[in-house]
Amino acid sequence: MNRLLPLALVVLVLVGAAAPGAPTAQTSGPPASAPARSTDGVVAATLDNGLRVLLLEDHRSPVASFQVWYRVGSRNERRGATGIAHLLEHMMFRGTPRYGPRMFARLVEENGGRDNAFTSQDVTSYFTNIAADRLDLVIELEADRMMNALLDPKVIDAEREVVIEERRTRTEDDPGGALGEEVSALAFRAHPYGQPIIGWMVDLTRITAEEIREFYRTYYVPNNALVVAVGDFDAAATLAKIRAAFGRLPRRPAPPAVTAVEPLQNGERRVVVTRPAQLPIVYIGYPVPNQESADAPALEVLSVVLSGGRSSRLYRNLVEKQLALEAGGDYSYFSLDPNLFWFWATPLPGQTPEAMEAALLAEMERLRNEPVTDEELARARNQIEASFVFQEDSVHRRASLLARFELLGGYALKDAYLDRIRAVTAADLTQVARTYFPAERKNVGVLIPRR
């Protein structure tokens, strides 16, 4: 559910309003000459240059959300050049020959809109929420920077310092961020999910302007991008405008595929980090499959049983019983590749990290040996469904959901999501707990405060 991401699995550039996000995987669609309208009103088309477009009319209010998702994130970076995807995200706001530095955000703001961007392990996304009658401006701005970002070396060096400071603040000076980074690097030995999205400091200081330009030329191409818009517009007319603005951009060679597969973990892995902090922290991560697995819906429900609010097991058994200041868990349903199922807790003063780890593992053992109650199962399924349905109230979130499912294999997967969740049984939860949470598969990180 991605309620809380302990590893900073999404890195935001704050140029306007913050908003949710995330994933990747090339999808096919109808030919450019034949846009298709689904039963739920989505107009889908693939332009001749490979750009995938999804449009959904929503006339409840005179606003629109326009989003461009690139199928590239930290998983596409090579060792020794981590952080490029996120640094390039920053540079996309630094101008083109037609629109100078910072003009994108300035023009959007002058027209009453708000824009933002994020980089994740799997995707980089740019989005603008604006009055629907100003959508033409956003279409032109996004089409321009897809191909014409300046990427001036001096500006890159200036933005590099911004990102380095961001890394210091969010990771090196943040105990939880630092510990999460260490556990992720511990858990992934072959797959690039072990690399931090923001990049290792040694790479950030070394990356060259030419490497960033080459990354941009490789991945910021129409046949590696998805445009999604939801709002108060005519879909056919908007598609024609998108075709006129983006259709002139040339198709480029398909970016290289990520072929790394994480080997099976055959033993417990553990890291202890000592740094200035007020309280200890304990993270435990288990390798789990992504949404392609038949077990994904059960893992999604299980994450809510464990950490979905004040009625969840971790809150009731750790926080309410005054063992932990906070505790949680997370399953990344929208992860493109198999990822980690996370548990974490911060002990209250007087509680030891050893006791906190034991308490977390006791919850895992309980899941393996005792079925969840009918009440817990119903509550978790209802929470997921309510959260999913409430997202339909926002044009931004409606667009993001369409993009997420499209990047996983097709936006129509969205229609099957709730049915998969509703079909989960208590026996399914016991089965996935026994399958994916054995002792020999855990990755443990413990932060010990240093005063």
- Would you kindly state where each structural domain of the chain is located, as residue ranges? 10-246, 269-449
10-246 in CATH: which number? 3.30.830.10
Q: Average the pLDDT over 364-377 and give the result.
A: 94
> Mind telling me the catalytic residues?
89
pLDDT of residue 16: 38
343 near 360, Cβ under 8 Å? Answer: yes
pTM of the prediction?
A: 0.92
Task: Pick the closest to residue 85 from 206, 189, 214 (CA basis).
Answer: 214
pLDDT of residue 408: 96
Common-topology check for domains 10-246 and 269-449: yes
Task: Pick the closest to residue 288 from 338, 330, 344 (CA basis).
Answer: 338
pLDDT of residue 39: 56
Name the band, by pLDDT with cuts 50, 70 and 90, for residue 451. Answer: confident
Distance CA 423, CA 195 (A): 35
Distance CA 162, CA 175 (A): 20
222: which strand partners?
Answer: none
Tens digits of per-residue pLDDT, 214-269? 999 999 999 999 999 999 999 999 999 999 999 999 999 999 999 999 999 999 99
235 near 57, Cβ under 8 Å? Answer: yes
DSSP code of residue 334 = T
Tens digits of per-residue pLDDT, 281-301? 999 999 999 999 999 999 999
CB within 8 Å of 23: residues ≥ 6 apart: 120, 122, 123, 334, 335, 336, 404, 407, 408
In CATH, 269-449 is 3.40.50.720: no
Name the band, by pLDDT with cuts 50, 70 and 90, for residue 21. Answer: very low
Tens digits of per-residue pLDDT, 44-78? 999 999 999 999 999 999 999 999 999 999 999 99
